[in-house]
Amino acid sequence: MRPKRWMLRMVLLLALAPVALAAEEPGQIKWNLSAFTWVQRVPAEAGAPANEQPAQLGADRLEALLGPVLARVDGKEVRLFGKNELKELASALSEAFALAQPGEDLVLVTTSRHGGGLLERAEALTARLFVQSGALHLIVHDARLEFMDAYIAYNLQPAFVYGSRKTPSAERLQAPGVTRLRPDWLALPLAPAAHAPLAAPAPVPPAAPVAAPALTPPAAPKAAPEPAPSAAEAGAYEAKAQRLRTLKRLRDDNLISEAEYQEKREAILRTL
């Protein structure tokens, strides 16, 4: 009997499970994490200025930079990378940036079940990354590329495109505190913005003659301090705070959508 399509999909999803990352090799070009997930050093696009590479970017630093990036998918703002997805990529990216030369970019494909369920369709994310002008540049060509059905049904090999300085894609990205060079291109600063230099102190003018002190009216009595909240009020506050923290964790782990998070949050806040 011919196997059902969903069984083939399950087998392929198991094959996409991440594998252990090989130790860094001198001159390593490609880091294969699973069947359709990898990081690769490639020549930079023709005419591109030299990159500030090799660059020492730790895995934790890369997670902190890329984790807040949002993409617009089906009219909603969602995290570009899943939490576990980015954790698996960060080590490979860190090693690749340590080896990348000024004339090279990094490209990546990562395939994940972004909906979180085991039977969710696996979708690919494709991007180009490089370090320039004190920032990590991220250009995304596909935030959610559906290719798995065609691959399973017709053995059609996907043709991945990684993003380009010259040709914008249809993706729309955003993140706090970044420079948005194009809707699909973000520059994430590697260091906090420098503070303006402190101005020199102004010269102190000569002291004026001291006048006789004026009589000051008596100070108004201080208001009585507000009573401390009761144990019941404190307990209710802590319960609502815990609900809000739990709700945020569910959203960060992609177990609920942004819209569901906002709706439940408003409902909790209205009870305060």
Locate the domains of the chain by residue range: 5-189, 231-269
Write the pLDDT tens digit of every residue in 254-272: 888 888 878 888 877 777 6
At 237, which amino acid appears? Y
Distance separating alpha carbons of residues 129 and 164, to the nearest angstrom: 10
Q: Is the pTM of this model over 0.95?
A: no
Contact 243, 266 (CB under 8 A): no
Pairing of strands 123-132, 135-145: antiparallel
Provide mean pLDDT across the span 3-13: 46
Write the pLDDT tens digit of every residue in 192-205: 644 334 444 445 45
Query: How sure is the predictor about 2, in pLDDT bands with cuts at 50, 70 and 90?
Result: very low
CA-based nearest residue to 127, from 183, 46, 175, 185:
185
Contact 89, 124 (CB under 8 A): no
Q: Does the CA dihedral 245-251-255-258 come out positive or negative?
A: positive
